[in-house]
Amino acid sequence: MNVISMIKPSELRSFAGHFPTGIAVITVRNSQGECHGLTMNSVTTLSLTPPLMLICLDNASNTLQALDDATHFCVHYLAEDQHEISNLFASKTADKFSSLSYEVSELGCAVINGAVAHAECAVVDRYPGGDHTIVIGQLQNAVITGGSPLVFHRGTYAAIGPLEKIA
């Protein structure tokens, strides 16, 4: 059976929402030292050798524009108590960093404090992908601080809890 149907963006978003994902915040510092960032779940490891990550940014994103003038970006996996940071970076707030606890790394990345893990990546390639741009980054540094991650499922934040063992 070959079923072809054009679905609306809202329908695709609803479909994708049925797959639970972690919450990532991507941060970028341009050559003027200005910090930009956004919340996303379109992030994945791409390759182990070399260590590559893939992020997908909306072509209209200010963060993508900042990435045009940057050599690195940082991927943060947020902790379960960082939903307010997720909301901040999902918003159109102009200065998302003014009240945020972060540090600037040796590579020049804005690193958000409290994430369960973060990875600093050097930009190595870009590809068009419809209304998004696919950005490939090679990991330069990864830090795992631990804790429980923030999860997104069907439009709602969630946390992961242990399951009972099945006998």
Residues 99 and 135: their CA atoms lie apart, in Å, by 28
User: Residue 57: which residues within 8 A CB-CB, separation 6 or more?
Assistant: 26, 38, 40, 63, 64, 67, 132, 133, 135
The domains found in the chain, sorted by start residue, are: 21-148 (2.30.110.10)
pTM over 0.95: no
45-55: pLDDT as tens digits? 999 999 999 99
* Proportion of the chain above pLDDT 70, given as a percent: 92
Per-residue confidence band for 154, with pLDDT thresholds at 50, 70 and 90: confident
Q: Residue 4 has what pLDDT?
A: 53
Res. 20: pLDDT tops 90: no
